[in-house]
């Protein structure tokens, strides 16, 4: 074990040194990537995710999900054999985007003082509480890449069905109880939800910045060797790169569905950073491969019965990055995140 840890430390040190050298060799490319990453976070990530993160955190931690999801719980209990709290996280993850599910599962563990049964349940539930957001699928991939909202709808629905199938199977293999009658329910206020969302978004944005900076170095190395990494491959590494596909074709939709179900390496790293060891991610990573294959198959089958007309996108990259909110709101939300992240405890104790 010590030998493995020693080798891992050497690999980490070598990786840091290589990255440092690449940053020094390609300062222009890394600087441009950093600026672009910050722009994406300010103009897209924070405006589109902040409000839903706050709301979903408050719904889950306060117990409001029992009331809000009551109309559909009778059906969901028959599809997913799990407690209502797990089903609630599942439903919120289908609409909130990639990090929402694992974030709520981590908080469920913390809220119940790392109760072993809940930790095991969250480990298994992470297999299916992960989905692309409808906004990214329909607008940025559908309209932005294929020039068709129908294409984006096919991608989104294929992701949802893959998650539902995975949830139905996993919940029948593993017991997904949370011992709700035994666990202590903490009534969380809206300020705590805002604080939690700010921490999560800070993690997401810093991972995006670091990952894209490293990816810029890799792209620069390949470019100097006379080879350009295909856009579809870049999408596997960082999913937003899929918006750069210049020659959309209907045959690409199953591949894009598979990649969007996986989320890309950068999103997986974001989830790992958010979880931060609260529960193991082995099953989560394996399930992404299964869901990816299911999404590709489902989208291909849907295309056989759906009239999808694919055309070149009419959206510019600037429009794609700036559709979420105007710049004034972006700056206000960014300031809120920074203030809350650094001073939340002192501020809210006085409220």
Task: Supply the DSSP symbol for 250.
Answer: G
Nearest residue to 88 via CA among 187, 154, 180, 198: 180
pLDDT at residue 259, as a whole number: 92
* Phi, psi angle pair for 183, to nearest 5°: -75, 155
pLDDT at residue 189, as a whole number: 66
* Phi, psi angle pair for 82, to nearest 5°: -150, 165
Q: Which residue has the tokens 């939340």?
A: 344
Q: Which residue has the tokens 């430390």?
A: 9
pLDDT at residue 128, as a whole number: 92
Residues 85, 87: Cα–Cα separation, whole Å: 5
Find out whether 248 and 77 touch, Cβ atoms under 8 Å: no
Please give the chain's pLDDT, 351 residues, in tens: 566 666 666 666 776 777 777 777 777 778 888 888 888 787 777 777 788 888 888 888 878 888 888 899 999 999 998 888 899 999 999 988 888 899 999 888 888 777 788 888 899 999 999 998 888 888 888 888 888 888 899 999 999 999 999 999 999 998 887 655 344 445 556 777 788 888 888 888 888 888 888 888 888 888 888 887 787 888 888 887 787 777 778 888 999 999 999 988 888 988 888 888 888 888 899 999 999 999 999 999 998 887 776 665 545 444 444 444 444 444 444 454 454 444 444 434 443
The residue ranges of every structural domain in the chain are 40-349
249: exposed, middle or buried (Cβ count in 10 Å: 0-12, 13-18, 19+) = exposed
Q: Is the dihedral of CA 36, 49, 201, 136 positive or negative?
A: negative
What is the maximum alpha-carbon separation in the chain?
Answer: 62
pLDDT at residue 226, as a whole number: 81
pTM of the full structure: 0.79
* DSSP secondary structure letters along 5-60: HHHHHHHHHHHHHHHHHHHHH-HHHHHHHHHHHHHHIIIIIHHHHHHHHHHHHHHH
Residues 6, 1: Cα–Cα separation, whole Å: 9
Find out whether 159 and 288 touch, Cβ atoms under 8 Å: no
Nearest residue to 76 via CA among 139, 12, 211, 167: 167
Q: Which residue has the tokens 């790169």?
A: 241
pLDDT at residue 168, as a whole number: 94
Distance, CA of 201 to chain centre: 11
Find out whether 315 and 138 touch, Cβ atoms under 8 Å: no
Q: What angle do CA 182, 110, 195 make, to 5 degrees?
A: 130
């Amino acid at each position: 074990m010590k030998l493995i840890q020693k080798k891992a430390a050497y690999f980490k040190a070598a990786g840091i040194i290589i990255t440092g050298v690449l940053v020094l060799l390609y300062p222009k490319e890394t600087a441009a990537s950093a600026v672009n990453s910050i722009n994406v976070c300010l103009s897209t990530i924070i405006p589109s995710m902040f409000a839903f993160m706050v709301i979903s955190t408050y719904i889950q931690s306060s117990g409001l999900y029992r009331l809000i999801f009551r109309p559909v719980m009778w059906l969901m209990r028959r599809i997913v054999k799990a407690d209502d709290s797990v089903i609630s996280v599942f439903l919120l993850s289908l609409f909130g985007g990639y990090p929402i599910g694992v974030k709520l599962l981590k908080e469920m563990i913390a809220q119940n003082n790392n109760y072993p049964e809940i930790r095991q349940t969250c480990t298994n539930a992470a297999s299916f509480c992960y989905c692309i957001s409808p906004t990214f699928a329909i607008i940025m991939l559908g309209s932005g890449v294929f020039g068709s909202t129908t294409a984006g709808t096919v991608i989104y629905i294929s992701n949802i069905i893959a998650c539902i199938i995975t949830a139905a199977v996993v919940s029948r293999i593993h017991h997904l109880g949370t011992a709700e009658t035994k666990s202590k329910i903490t009534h969380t206020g809206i300020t705590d939800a805002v604080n939690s969302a700010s921490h999560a978004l800070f993690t997401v944005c810093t991972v995006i910045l670091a990952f894209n900076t490293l990816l810029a170095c890799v792209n620069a190395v390949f470019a100097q060797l006379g080879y350009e990494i295909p856009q579809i491959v870049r999408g596997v590494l960082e999913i937003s790169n899929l918006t750069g596909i210049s020659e959309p074709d209907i045959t690409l939709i199953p591949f894009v569905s598979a990649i969007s179900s996986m989320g890309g390496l950068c999103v997986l790293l974001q989830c790992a950073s958010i979880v931060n060891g609260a529960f193991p991610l082995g099953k989560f990573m394996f399930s992404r491969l299964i869901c990816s294959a299911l999404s590709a198959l489902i989208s291909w089958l849907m295309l056989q019965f759906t009239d999808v007309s694919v055309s070149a996108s009419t959206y510019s990259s600037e429009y794609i990055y700036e559709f979420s909110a105007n710049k004034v709101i972006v700056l206000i939300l960014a300031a809120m995140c920074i203030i809350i992240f650094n001073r939340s405890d002192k501020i809210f104790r006085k409220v």
